[in-house]
Amino acid sequence: MNTDLFLIGVDGGGTGTRVVLGDGHGRELAQAASGPSGLGLGVERAWQAIQAGCAEAFSRAGVAPQWERCVIGCGLAGVNNRVWLAGFRAQAPKLAGLAVESDAYTTLLGAHGGSHGVIVALGTGSVAAAADGEGECRIASGFGFPSGDEASGAWLGLRAIVHAQQALDGRVPLDEFAQALLDRVGAQDRDSLIVWLCATNQTGYASLAPIVLAHAGHPFAARLLAEAGEEIGKMIAALDPSGALPVALCGGLGAPLRAYVPQRYQARLRAPLADSAHGALQLAQHEAARTGASAAG
């Protein structure tokens, strides 16, 4: 492997992007974060966020960015849409190498260090994945907002805002939970809430997930969180019906939702070894080794 290279791992979702910068041996130099880069929000926006995060990581490492010396491994939400993926590749800057996989795959790499296991990634969206004996990555959930991504931040928010809607027109009391939701979206009445609903996206709905968790004792929120736990259990069962593999809950909602996973799965839960950005750094290492990438590109 050419040691003049920089290896970069990128974890891109609907809420934010995390970047890990490494040298040609994969030794970590710096980390950084930037805005959303899930492909569902637009390819141009994705590259803007990725390049901003990479530039910040280079700055923190005290190195001037030189894209032609970079091999980037990306774990991105939305890569299963071939049109989005083709557009993403077409707009890439001149690089020494680029590998793009789903964020599920890079999360799996990071969480279990390449060993067999199951991950359930819970962030703005959600997806579960497992590595089998042949190294194949099998997927459950992850069909995308608004119809899929069970137990994700957007899934929680999309359902939680119903409580605020019903509170505004008197179907349920305007209680503390409803008021907290309205305050978060900046709505004072029916019309202003409708304006927010018409304008928001998956990131906006995901911003309501912390409100749900903060009001976990509220009956509506409690039912929603219990349902999220059951959905996580269904993903685990679909990928490992034998019940033999360790399971890592990953992403920003992994730890908060752990307590709601049904008891029959609790003994198999493990803390992830590393996050998706570090899994993407492993992906960059594999790409550099596979292609014999050189600083000449």
The hierarchical CATH code for the domain 6-113+275-291 is: 3.30.420.40
Digitized pLDDT (tens) for each residue of the chain, 297 residues in all = 456 899 999 999 887 999 999 998 889 999 999 999 989 889 999 999 999 999 999 999 999 888 999 999 999 988 989 999 999 999 999 999 999 998 888 989 999 987 889 999 999 899 999 986 555 788 999 888 899 899 999 999 999 999 999 999 999 999 999 999 999 999 999 999 999 999 999 999 999 999 999 999 999 999 999 999 999 999 999 999 999 999 999 989 999 999 999 999 999 999 999 999 999 999 999 999 987 764 433
Residues 84-98: tens digit of each pLDDT: 999 999 999 999 999
pLDDT of 151-209, one tens digit each?
A: 999 999 999 999 999 999 999 999 999 999 999 999 999 999 999 999 999 999 999 99
* Residue 74, CB-side half-sphere exposure with 13 Å CA sphere: 28
Residue 75 three-state SS: strand
The pTM of the full predicted model, rounded to 2 decimals, is: 0.79
Per residue, what are the HEC states of 138-196? EEECCCCCCCCCCCCHHHHHHHHHHHHHHHHCCCCCCCHHHHHHHHHHCCCCHHHHHHH
Q: How many degrees, rounded to 5, is the angle at CA 122 between CA 118 and CA 123?
A: 145
Which is the CATH superfamily of the domain at 122-270?
A: ATPase, nucleotide binding domain (3.30.420.40)
- The DSSP bridge pattern shows strands 28-34 and 97-102 to be unpaired
pLDDT at 26: 84
Residue 141's pLDDT is what?
Answer: 92
Contacts of 257 (CB under 8 A, 6+ apart): 122, 151, 225, 228, 229, 232, 249
Map out the domains of the chain as residue ranges: 6-113+275-291, 122-270
pLDDT confidence of residue 137? 82
122-270 and 6-113+275-291 share a CATH fold: yes
